[in-house]
Structures are given as C-alpha cells and as structure tokens.
Structure 1
Amino acid sequence: MKKRIVLAVITTLLLSIMAACSSDKEASSKSSDESSKGETITFGVTPWTSTVPPTKIAGLILEDMGYKVKETKADAGGVYMGLSRGDLDVFMDSWLPMHKVYLDKFGDKLDDTAVSYPKAATGWVVPTYMKDINSVSDLKGKEDEFNNKFYGIEEGASATEESNDMIKDYGLDMKQVNSSEGGMIAQASRKIAQKKPVVFFGWRPHSMFNKFDLKVLKNDKGYFESSSVHVITNSKLKDRAPDAYKFLSNWSISIDDVEEMIVQIEEKGKDPEKVAREWINNHQDKVDKMMGK
C-alpha cells in the first residue's frame, strides 16, 4: 500500500515537472518571438523595377506583424555586401543562377530563404519588327545596323559582365553602352518609336514587355539561362527575428502579379505602397499561408 502511495506521489511530481518544463519552454518561445517585435528589418533595394513590388508587400506585412521596416538603396554588389556584413537583412530580388557568384563569395553569411517565382526570362531583346533577328548569332555581320551598340544596365551588374562575355564569345563587333535601367529603356524607346534596329538587355517581370512588342534572342552558348528569383536574408535573421524569417521562408508570388504591379507603378503612376496594400487585401488567403496561419 505504501509502495503504491509513494509511486503515485513520484508520478505526480514527474508529471508536474514535465508540465512546468513544457510551460516554461512555451513561454520562452513566445517571449522570444514577442521580444523580436519592434526590431527593424532592413531591406536592400536595387535600382530595378522588379525589386519594388515584392519589397513593399513584404515590408507592409512585417509592419503588420509589429516590426519596423527600413529600405536601403544600393546596386546588386552593395546589397550582397550589406547582407554579408549584417547591415541589411533581406533582399527580395536575387536572380539565380546569375547572382550565384555572390552566394558563393559570401557563403554561410547569407541564407537562400525562399523562391519568389521560377523561370523568369532574361537576356538580349529586340523588337518583334526585326523579323530576321531571332538569335544572338543573327547579329553577326549586321552590327553596323545597330551602330555597333548593345544597351545594358549599370556597370558592375553580373548581367553586364555576362553580356561582355557574350560579345567576345560570339565575336560581335559591338560595344556595350551602360546606364541605369531607366536610361537604357529611354534609349530603346527612342529607337523603337522610329522602328530602328536596337538590341538591349531585358528581363521579366518588367513593364517593357507590356509597353513594347519584344522577343528574347536565343543563344546556343548557355548565356542568360532562365532564372528563378529568390529571397536572400543574412544568416543571423533566423535567430534575431524567427517569426519574420518564417514568413519570408514561405514567400512566393507570381511573375504575372509582379509585372502587373510594375505597370501600375511605372506606367500609371500609382503609389507603390498603395499598390502593395491592394495586393495584400486581394490575396489575404495567400498572405495567411505565407504567415503560417
């Protein structure tokens, strides 16, 4: 009888201790999540129109979750450097395999967190009225029709380096003219308005494909493979703001949605935050899923 009583007491004590530990663990986890609220999440923003919609949407959702959000503008190299140093927390527009060089360079200081959308077309583009130009090799011998110029984005971008490599590999008598995305599009727009030959760098999602009738030139040397666009975070965010990281790890959006928002912002002059908030309101089920609800 005494043995049964002692056993019962011991069992009760063990259960009490286990319950207390579980409660403490749960309280600790909740406390950790709550303590991260109010933290500032800093986004790196490149000078590309494709970066704006996902950055604004993710930023607004994080603000709704209780975080402060900051944006820092930089070119791609500066963004990855900032992520590796911990000065930046998130980049919503990493193009792989094009940006793999940065992931290799900074290694475990970066976290490949999520895929926004796969199979984003990228490469050299021409207007569809150029019927006889369908591949990069078709440019050979016709460079003078383009004034021996290929229009690209800013110096230092991986796409700029790849375009220079492609010019050499195909033996093209062309020089890459670099400027901002806006400057490149303005130059192409002037040529297209006059139905003149022009070749420049293009990618989706981008309003250029809504504004102009364009085709991406084929190439048989493996340049500008179809890209997938990823969310990259610095490796410390997971521990510093676990629920923010969890949300970002569930991130996804369609390329068509991003392109439509770019058109609304760039072509129709709508405020980026209002466009982002409209997307959130119209896709609450998707937002809830990304937040793990």
Structure 2
Amino acid sequence: MKKPILTLMLGTLMTTATAAQAQVSESCQDVRFAEVGWTDIQATTGMARVLLDKMGYDTDSKTVSVPIAYAGLKQNDFDVFLGNWMPSMASIVKPYVESGAVETVTTNLKGAKYTLAVPSYVAKAGVTSFADLIKHKSQFHGRIYGLESGNDGNKIVENMIHDNAFGLRRFRLVASSEAGMLSEVKHAVQNKEWVIFLAWAPHPMNTKLDITYLKGGDKYFGPDYGAAVVRTQARKGYVQACPNVGHFLNNLTFTVDMENHLMDAIMNDHKSAKDAAKAYIAKHPEVLKGWLDGVKNTDGSPALSRWQ
C-alpha cells in the first residue's frame, strides 16, 4: 500500500531536520572559556560568546587566575582562552605548550604593549626609565602596583626585585585586581602623588589618564616598551574535534582601537561584556564578514545568515 504524499513529505522534513541538528556533535555543543580578571579579555571573550550563541552553541566563561586557566585547559575544564599575552606569559605557558596540553590557534591581537608606567607629571619630573626609579624610592614609597597574584606581569616585577635589577630590591610589589590597581593610580593622580604601576594597551587608561611608559625594561618586558601580541589558545585536540568552532576562532582577530572601544563601554558605560559586543556589532556590522567567513551555525546554515 502506498504511503500518502503528505506522510512522505513530513518524513523527509523530519529526516532533514534531524540531519541539520546533527551538524554539531554533543561534545562540541558547549564551548567553555577561561577568562581572567582583565577588561580586554572580558571584552574579547564577550564578543566570542555573542557570536557563538547566535550560531546555536551554548557558551560559558569562568573568571580564574592565569595559572588556573592553563591548568584548566590541561585538565579539560576549559576549551578556549583568548588571553595569552606574549612574551610576558612565556614562562607560564611554556610547559603547557611544550607538553602539547595547550595549542595555539592564532594571534588575535597585534600592536599591544605591557610594561611599567608612571603618570606623565612624574615623567616630566625626571622618571622616564627603569633606571630612574631607585633615585626616587621615597617618593614612590617603595611600592610598585601590580595585578592579581599569579599574574605574569607580577612575576616579571618579582623577578626584577629578586635580581635587584635597577636597584629594585628595595621596592615591594603590591598585588591587586585590575580595578583595585587602577583605583590606586587614579587616587594618586588626583592628588599629584607619585606611583608606579603595570600598564598596557589596549586599555582605556591610555585615553583617560595621562601616563608615560618607562623605557629600559627590554630584558624583562621585551623591546619597544613591552611590545606584545595576544594569542588564542585551546586545549589539546579541541580545534580538530570541533573544526567549526576552530575555524571561527582562527578568524576572530581584533585591533587595538576596537578593543579600546569595547573596554571603554565595559569600564565607563558599565555595560556587560556581551552588551558591549552587541552594541559594537550594531555600529560596525562589517566586522562580521571576516569573523564568520566559512563558519556554520549549529544547524549547518552559514553563520552570517542569522545577522542579515
């Protein structure tokens, strides 16, 4: 007995739907990000999550310290980390990369920098290099303000203190969060006090505060005022197991100006990272073409189609 045409059509549609739903394996449906307490990584992770959510993935991010982020990638607690600042993180990431536990996907930002800085009124008073710091120890109260414990920049400063580089053994590192450190810097600037702190670009501090990056720290922070790149990394085998997400991550690159805008929205407009990302996309939809080129939604359709 022949089946009615309607039954055959429904069967075909159900088969097609089932096939579409099977485009992404269950193990790739959830994308887990490691995030550290820095606004730039909040911004880039927020952007990645907005785009992946739109494709049909389920994303999650947890804020942890840098050492825990890498331990989590190794132990399969996380899939992706967008915040590998190089060369400052070289000593932390080296054993994970050399063992194959963590793999580099791409460089997601060029033109960054990371080193010590002072307010520009301090630079005008004669502190323009690392060698000048010891001459003014009392004015700095012997303190260098850093980030959270375990941070790569902190480790660099601690190494300098240990090595007595530039006479810094007489200084001590004050560890804090990004927000805590910047609060100390802003308070010092308001009172025209002297302060040394970890500074980097991209970051709104470069436009909101008049600061000067110190020269002469090439041995520890790298040349050209700590010139840096930021890399996207994933746990071992993740890109091969989840090639669509891997292709997307390879496409996902940023500029310093873009991140400055995203970070400013988070820090000064008090937007969530996701809301900042959505607002940026609404103003700059042209960025989607490069990011989503060759990328699929979880149902197999082109990722760009859901933004048109």
Q: Which residue of 2 aligns with 1:148?
A: 142
Match of 1:169 in 2: 165
Residue aligning to 2:38: 48
Displacement of 1:199 = 0.8
Is the 8 Å Cα contact of residues 114 and 249 (structure 1) preserved in structure 2?
yes
In 2, Cα distance between equivalents of 1:231 and 1:258: 15
Is the 1:155–1:178 Cα contact (8 Å) retained in structure 2?
yes
Aligned residues: 265
SS of equivalent to 2:193: coil
Separation of aligned partners in 2, 1:61 and 1:220: 38
1:128 counterpart (120, 123, 127): 120
Residue 232 (structure 1) aligned with residue 222 (structure 2): no
Name the SS for the 1:112 alignment partner: strand
- Equivalent residue number for residue 106 of structure 1: 96
Quick check: 2:80–2:235 contact (8 Å CA) kept in 1? yes
Does structure 1 retain, via aligned residues, the 8 Å contact 2:28–2:242?
no
Q: CA deviation at 1:236?
A: 2.4
Match of 2:197 among 195, 200, 206: 200
Query: Alpha-carbon deviation of 1:221?
Result: 4.5
Question: Aligned in 2, Cα 1:85/1:175: closer, same or farther, shift over 3 Å?
Answer: same
Cα distance, 1:209 vs structure 2: 1.5
- Indicate the structure (1 or 2) with the bigger Cα radius of gyration: 1
Partner of 1:139: 133
Q: 1:14 matched to which residue of 2? A: none
1: CA distance between counterparts of 2:84 and 2:285? 25
When the two structures are superposed, what TM-score results if normalisation uses the length of structure 1?
Answer: 0.85
Q: CA deviation at 1:101?
A: 2.4
**Match of residue 10 from structure 1:** none
The aligned runs of 1:1-293 (5 Å cut-off) are 33-35=23-25, 39-107=29-97, 108-130=100-122, 131=124, 132-167=126-161, 168-172=164-168, 173-225=170-222, 226-293=227-294
Structure 1 alignment gaps of length 5 or more:
1-28
TM-score by length of 2: 0.81
The equivalent of 1:12 in structure 2 is none
| 2:14 match | none
Q: Distance in 1 between matches of 2:282 and 2:32?
A: 23
Aligned CA RMSD, in angstroms, stands at: 2.0
Q: Cα distance, 1:175 vs. partner?
A: 1.0
Return 5+ residue gaps in structure 2 as ranges: 1-18, 295-308
CA contact (8 A) 1:123 1:203 kept: yes
Distance 2:23 2:242 in 1: 7
Q: How many percent of aligned residue pairs carry the same amino acid? A: 25
Secondary structure of the 1:274 match is: helix
